[in-house]
Amino acid sequence: MLATEGRYIVNEWTGKPVLLRGVNISGMEYSHLPHAGMTPDELRLMIEGWNCDIVRIPFVQSRALAEPEYVEQLRQICSWTWELGAYSILDLQWLDQDSGVPPEPDSDSIQLWDRLSKEFKPDRNIIFDLLNEPHDIPVERWVDWAYLLGSVVRANDPKRVLMIGGMNWAYDLEDVQVNIPNVIYSTHVYRNKGRLWDRSFGNKALEVPVFAGEFGGDDEDLDWGRELLDYFDERRMGWTAWSWRDKPHLQNSNKPTRFGELVRDRLSIGRS
């Protein structure tokens, strides 16, 4: 359904570029409620009400490996999302529910992506984000991991679009290069990372597909957020804002925060 060509994400059938923009909806990485409490109505508000083209869904490795029903819940959420007209990103957020954001994958991640690439092979509307936020390891080590996990996926599903984050908690893509087809590079941009946008991800976006898997802010970040969204538009970068459910919030009780209004208004400009 999706592929990459040059610096663009494209529709695999038509070859035309698509600009995908949406939000993150967290919960599946920590909640034990069925579907983390997500419902079609909640997703409808995001997709139809806010005009999201894509929804990023963080999940936890340990449950995906141990609980078949958990994988089915992920499948159901992605199915609801697709029925409402949006793509999904399955994002490996945590390795387990006790250790927080991991600096790198582990040996179980090989088994994880082998399993998910088999389970989700018929579902062409889903992008695999191989690891949420690599950090505090040499970039060569992360690139080696990306090649390994990518090869595991491609052995089962040769055309699956993969998302590969940068270093420094996914922010810095400057030295991350993985030479396999159908790769999107993902940056996570927050105000505390500074303003070296060109070097960290913007220059790369002129050559290969770059997507902002996370960005977000509070009331005091509105000017910064407008400038960042303008920058994404200049570079033709897609994005998923953080977060529908967690800090910094985009909405509370279905009412947009001020930063959420900024995101919603930009989404309302038009779907790709």
**pLDDT at 269 (0 to 100):** 87
Q: Is 12 helix (H, G, I), strand (E, B) or coil?
A: coil
Q: Are 240 and 19 in contact (CB under 8 A)?
A: no
Q: Which residues of the chain have pLDDT under 70?
A: 270-272
Superfamily of domain 2-267: Glycosidases (3.20.20.80)
Average pLDDT of the chain, as a whole number: 97
Question: What's the CA gap between 16 and 35, in Å, rounded?
Answer: 33
Q: Residue 65's CB: how many other CB atoms inside 10 A?
A: 18
Half-sphere exposure of 269 (CA within 13 A, CB side): 14
pTM value > 0.85 = yes
Whether the bond between 248 and the residue before it is cis, its omega within 30 degrees of 0, is yes
Residues 6+ apart with CB under 8 A from 106: 95
**pLDDT at 272 (0 to 100):** 44
**pLDDT at 270 (0 to 100):** 60
Q: Are 163 and 186 in contact (CB under 8 A)?
A: yes
Q: Tell me the one-letter amino acid at 166.
A: G
CA 189 to chain centre: 12
All structural domains of the chain with their residue ranges: 2-267
Q: Tell me the one-letter amino acid at 141.
A: R
**pLDDT at 1 (0 to 100):** 83
